[in-house]
Amino acid sequence: MEMRFDKRILCIGAGYVGGPTMAMIAAKCPQYQVTMVDVKEEKIAAWQTDNLPIYEPGLLELVKQARGRNLFFSTDILAGIREAEIIFVSVNTPTKSFGEGAGKAADLQYWEKTARSIVKASESPKIIVEKSTLPVRTAKAMERILSANPKGVRFEVLSNPEFLAEGTAVTDLENPDRVLIGSRETESGLRARRELVDIYANWVPREKILTSNVWSAELSKLAANAFLAQRISSINSISALCERTRADIAEVSRAIGMDQRIGSRFLQASVGFGGSCFKKDILNLVYICENYGLQEIAEYWQNVVKINEYQEHRFVKTMIRVMFNTVADKRIALFGFSFKKDTGDTRESAAIYVARKLLAENARVIVTDPQALPNAREELKDAGAAVEYEEDPYRAAENAHAIAVLTEWDLYRELDYRRIYASVEKPAFIFDGRNILPHQELYEIGFNVFPIGKPSLRHF
């Protein structure tokens, strides 16, 4: 065991959440040894190169500050557990695809297997930190598994949900709105809580480190994501009405957002929210409500997901309708495939729905994206030759019957749309699912322009 470090921290699950979080702790706290383990060997190998397994602005620089100094990577999970005093668990907790609660409940099998590995390998007391987003009262189940160990090793389970958003993970971790730490309010629970507070206090102001009981911490994470998603569904619901009434969603967003009680952020109408968390966490909340007999509450939150699906559906329906009710054999260029800009992540991206719907109409789809092409290929691999993948947006647009902007990458604002107009089929159509393009300018070039929640600009 390395004795030159004050603490030995382990993180099980080196993904989007575990990776950046541990890199930040290691960079800010050279006095701690931070080790990341994962079942996927190729992921662990990639973390040790300059080609990290995930794309996040600023992450490589952060990793390089600490890698080999106090940040280590390994596939030996059991040895990692044995050595550590504090273990963060950030394995994935996807929506269950089978059995009871399928399509809603969280699939906790990885979490439980991890808990069993911890029991198996531990020879000394440990603090276990839930980083994965979990259903309320999961910590209880974990405590049961952990305490059923014949060796009598003591574990304290804390909930420390992560609020980072992809694409801004590094700045979110460096300067968080708050850090939330839930513990039992027993003597040993409070001691464990203090240990974790001390880690974050290395760079986060104390007043931003909130402590609570475990259940509040677990529920706060689900509620925060549900509230954020609800804002998007709310503005998207109004966008549909704008299109019918010739009101402009950007003007409405600005007007309501200046009310300080409402606030201006997360009011950007779009083709729909994606990402690995929003839908999963809301469905999870719905499932928990149903389990406690709160049917009305479950339905209330379910509708946030329903409106999102409606918005995706509405977008494609508009495309088909205005392109003379058929897209069969037409080339449609999708600008962006990631669920938002500055990430290569495509999980639950609205682009997946849009692409599939167009393919079902026998369209030919050309996907372009600066970071997400590998994931897009994986996502659509069953579609075969009906989909083309093209790095260069100009080439993607060549001979296209329509362009649909699905991710708000900055580069799409800056393209030479005169050049693009010259190479596309006429009449030319642009569907701006993110409202990022200069619509009037495009119209003047010759495009028929269909934004979200704004009057369309058409030449016919």
Is residue 135 a contact residue for ligand UDX (CB under 6 A)?
A: no
Stretch that binds ligand UDX, among 23-31, 224-232, 351-359, 413-421 (CB under 6 A): 224-232
Least gap, CB of 419 to ligand UDX (angstroms): 27
- Beta carbon of residue 220, minimum distance to ligand UDX (angstroms, whole number): 11
Closest approach of ligand UDX to the CB of residue 296, in Å: 25
Provide the mask over 257-276, with x wherever binding to ligand UDX is found by CB under 6 A and - wherever it is not: ---------xxx-x--xxxx
CB of 338 to ligand UDX, least distance (A): 9
Kindly tell me which of 20 and 364 has the beta carbon lying closer to ligand UDX: 20
Amino acid letter, residue 390: E
| Separation of alpha carbons 236 and 318, rounded Å | 15
Q: Which of 8, 43, 82, 184 binds ligand UDX (CB under 6 A)?
A: 43
The DSSP output letter for 96 is P
Can you count the helices (H) and strands (E) in the chain? Answer: 17, 14
Rounded CA-CA distance 312/310 in Å is 6
Does 308 interact with ligand UDX (rule: CB under 6 A)?
no
**Min CB(293)–ligand UDX separation in Å:** 25
Verify binding: residue 232, ligand UDX, rule CB under 6 A: yes
Backbone torsions φ then ψ of 11, nearest 5 degrees: -125, 125
What are the b/e assignments for 140-156, b being 16+ CB within 10 Å?
A: ebbbebbeeeeeebebb
* Under rule CB under 6 A, residue 339 binds ligand UDX: yes
Least Å distance between CB 92 and ligand UDX?
4
Catalytic residue ranges: 277
Please give the Cα distance from 141 to 6 (Å, whole number). Answer: 30
Site residues (CB under 6 A) for ligand UDX, limited to 103-132: 110, 113-114, 131-132
Task: Name the residue among 253, 407, 264, 440 with its Cα closest to residue 337.
Answer: 407
Q: Count the site residues for ligand UDX by CB under 6 A.
A: 41
Closest CB 149 distance from ligand UDX, rounded Å = 19
Q: List strand residue ranges (DSSP E) for 57-196, in order.
A: 71-74, 86-89, 126-130, 155-159, 179-183
Which of residues 56, 107, 162, 312 is near ligand UDX by CB under 6 A?
Answer: 162
Q: Is 12 in the site for ligand UDX (CB under 6 A)?
A: yes
Kindly tell me the sign of the dihedral angle through the C-alpha atoms of 197, 201, 204, 206. Answer: positive
- The least distance separating ligand UDX from the CB of residue 46, rounded to whole angstroms, comes to 10
CB 181 within 8 Å of CB 159 = yes
Q: Are 281 and 225 in contact (CB under 8 A)?
A: yes
Amino acid sitting at position 223: A
What does the per-residue mask of binding to ligand UDX show for 188-217, with x meaning CB under 6 A? ------------------------------
Taking CB under 6 A as the criterion, the residue among 5, 39, 112, 238 binding ligand UDX is 39
Do 231 and 266 contact (CB within 8 A), yes or no? yes
Window contacting ligand UDX (CB under 6 A); options: 34-42, 206-214, 398-406, 440-448? 34-42
**Using rule CB under 6 A, residue 376 touches ligand UDX:** no
Q: Which residues contact 114 (CB under 8 A, 6 or more apart)?
A: 12, 13, 89, 91
Q: Which of 56, 156, 166, 369 binds ligand UDX (CB under 6 A)?
A: 166
Does residue number 443 form part of the binding site for ligand UDX (CB under 6 A)? no
Residue type, 317: K
Sheet with 7-12: list strands edge to edge: 71-74, 32-37, 7-12, 86-89, 126-130, 155-159, 179-183, 209-213
Q: Which residues contact 96 (CB under 8 A, 6 or more apart)?
A: 102, 103, 104, 105, 106, 107
- Which among 159-167, 374-382, 416-424, 435-443 is the span making contact with ligand UDX, rule CB under 6 A? 159-167
Q: Which residue number, 239 or 302, has a Cβ lying nearer to ligand UDX?
A: 239
Q: Does 18 bind ligand UDX (CB under 6 A)?
A: yes
Positions that interact with ligand UDX (CB under 6 A): 12-18, 38-40, 43, 90-93, 110, 113-114, 131-133, 162-166, 225, 228, 232, 266-268, 270, 273-278, 339-340
